[in-house]
């Protein structure tokens, strides 16, 4: 729910925006002052503020968690975190050889955290995705490379409008071989100068992954009318499709 209160003081208008949703925990109350007759500034600031507050987890609440499937025979698992898991889960799911993707939390110390707890920045967790894939169709190297094109790995503890350690870039390895692959992929991308700055992604041993609430699963495809999806997530997915076109399932090329 959103409540807007307007107070006029001489030549200035103060707009206090209170947003009663999940991002209230992250952002709180913001007050913007600007000239009464400066309509364009009003529109621009309002639009920017609205986008900021309707970030990755606006809209729904509830602690009905998704189930965490076990890998099937011949299936392997990878766990990555790169900003909001809405766009990351969509991007990874579009790759050939990826069977399913679960949004959740990893990298922290609290067992079975809720979104609200992760957003409080007290759990150490990052929004992450667990990818179930067929290694005969897609390699861990290709999967890791795709991950680095699905977000901006040079941004430290934020992605776009989403700020905090829960949005940090982080990859997990389950074997020494996976660690080496991740380090090699990072080195190659840095050397290619694909990004103007160096990658800041954490490379960490895998310990645990906790599935997020059900309403986060498949959110990108189910909520195309969400302004955040249209303005933040969709451009990231479109950019990803362009970078990884050869590795996409036919329907996403």
Q: What residues act catalytically?
A: 84
- d(CA 73, CA 102) in angstroms, rounded, equals 18
Q: 160 — phi, psi (to 5°)?
A: 60, -125
Could you tell me if 118 and 167 are in contact, meaning their C-beta atoms sit under 8 angstroms apart? no
The b-or-e profile of 58-92 (16+ CB within 10 A means b, else e) is beeeeeebbeeeeeeeeebbbbbbbbbbbbbbbbb
CB atoms within 10 A of CB 218: 17
Strand order in the sheet with 76-82: 202-205, 169-173, 76-82, 126-133, 98-106, 209-211
Q: What is the DSSP letter of 245?
A: G
Q: Please report, in angstroms and rounded to a whole number, the separation of the first and last CA atoms in the chain.
A: 37
| Ramachandran class of 98: left when φ > 0, alpha when ψ lies in -120 to 50, beta otherwise | beta
- d(CA 6, CA 17) in angstroms, rounded, equals 9
């Amino acid at each position: 729910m959103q409540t807007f209160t307007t107070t006029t003081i001489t030549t200035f208008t103060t707009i206090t925006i209170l947003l009663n949703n999940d991002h209230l925990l992250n952002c709180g109350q913001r007050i913007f002052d600007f000239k009464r007759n400066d309509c364009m500034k009003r529109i621009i600031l309002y639009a920017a503020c609205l986008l900021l507050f309707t970030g990755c987890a606006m809209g729904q609440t509830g602690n009905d968690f998704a189930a965490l499937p076990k890998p099937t025979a011949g299936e392997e698992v990878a766990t990555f975190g790169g900003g909001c898991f809405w766009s990351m889960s969509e991007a990874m799911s579009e790759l050939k050889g990826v069977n399913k993707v679960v949004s959740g939390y990893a990298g922290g110390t609290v067992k079975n955290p809720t979104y609200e707890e992760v957003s409080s920045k007290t759990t150490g967790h990052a929004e992450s995705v667990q990818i179930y894939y067929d290694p005969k169709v897609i390699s861990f190297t290709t999967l890791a490379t795709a991950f680095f094109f699905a977000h901006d790995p040079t941004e430290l503890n934020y992605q776009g409008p989403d700020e905090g350690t829960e949005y940090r870039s982080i990859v997990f390895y389950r074997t020494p071989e996976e660690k080496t692959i991740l380090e090699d992929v990072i080195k190659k991308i840095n050397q290619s100068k694909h990004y103007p700055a160096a990658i800041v992604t954490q490379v960490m041993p895998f310990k645990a992954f906790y599935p997020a609430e059900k309403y986060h699963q498949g959110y990108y495809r189910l909520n195309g009318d969400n302004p955040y999806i249209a303005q933040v997530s969709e451009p990231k997915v479109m950019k990803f499709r362009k970078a990884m076109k050869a590795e996409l399932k036919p329907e996403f090329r």
